[in-house]
Structures are given as C-alpha cells and as structure tokens.
C-alpha cells in the first residue's frame, strides 16, 4: 500500500516553462488536494477535488490548473512558471470531504523557478 505518491521529488524550471506535478493515491480516497509550503507560512491550499470530474479552487489558485479524470490521480499543472512559484508542493488525500478526516500527504515536490 503506497499511500500518496508524488513525482518528481525535485524540479528546476526556467521562467515561462510549463510542467505537471503528478500525484496518485491507492486508498480510494474521494478528496484530493494540492498545497504549497513556503518558509514561515502555513500550508496553503491551491486546488482540491471532491471526486472524479470535480475540482475547485483553494486559497492560492492563480497560475495552476488541475484535473481529476480518475479517483486515483490528481495532477497539478503550471502553465507558465514564475519565480513566485518556487516552493515545496504537497499533494494530500482523505477518505471523505468532511474536515474531521485526517489528510494523508505525499512526500512533496521541491520546485525552483529561475
């Protein structure tokens, strides 16, 4: 049981490049989400999904797109990377949408945009 798997672990991009951060979970969780973690700040929600075909914006969605074609996968796309997107990105999932549920996090992707 792998849990939540994120790839890649590290990535360096040039300003304006695009890329996709991959996230997969094998726990049949309904809820999946993407966060960014910046020094001195709490995790901030980028986008989330409550099930296949359903996505919504979080606190900091600008510059990012998501889709959820299957229960297992929830990729995060950066369309035109900017230095302000340098951060550590975490994918998380939980069994249901209710906010009593604990989140299961991936190991993170450290992204640097030059």
Distances in whole angstroms, Cα of residue 22 to Cα of each of 17, 19, 66, 75, 110: 16, 10, 10, 5, 13
- Between CA 16 and CA 1 the distance in angstroms is 37
Build a one-symbol-per-residue string for 74-93: x at contacts with another protein by CB under 8 A, - elsewhere: ----------------x-x-
45 binds another protein (CB under 8 A): yes
Give the residue, chosen from 1, 28, 41, 62, that forms a contact with another protein under the rule CB under 8 A. 41
52 binds another protein (CB under 8 A): no
Q: Which residues are bridge partners to 47 per DSSP? A: 34, 57
Nearby residues of 44 by Cβ (< 8 Å), 6 or more positions away? 35, 36, 37, 38, 58, 59, 60
105 binds another protein (CB under 8 A): yes
Stretch in the footprint of another protein (CB under 8 A) among 19-27, 38-46, 49-57, 69-77: 38-46
103 binds another protein (CB under 8 A): yes
Chain positions 1 to 20 lying near another protein, rule: CB under 8 A, are 4
50 binds another protein (CB under 8 A): no
- Please report which helix (H) or strand (E) contains residue 17, including its range: none
**Residues in the site for another protein, rule: CB under 8 A?**
4, 35, 40-45, 90, 92, 99-100, 102-103, 105-108
């Amino acid at each position: 049981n792998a849990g939540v798997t994120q790839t890649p672990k590290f990535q360096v991009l040039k300003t304006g490049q695009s890329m996709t951060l991959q996230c997969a979970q094998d726990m049949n969780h309904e809820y999946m989400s993407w966060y960014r973690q910046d020094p001195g700040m709490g995790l901030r929600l980028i986008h989330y999904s409550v099930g296949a075909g359903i996505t919504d914006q979080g606190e900091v969605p600008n510059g990012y797109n998501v889709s959820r074609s299957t229960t297992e996968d929830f990729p995060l796309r950066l369309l035109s990377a900017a230095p302000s997107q340098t951060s550590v990105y975490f994918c998380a999932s939980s069994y249901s949408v209710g906010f009593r549920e604990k989140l299961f996090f991936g190991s993170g992707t450290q992204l640097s945009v030059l």
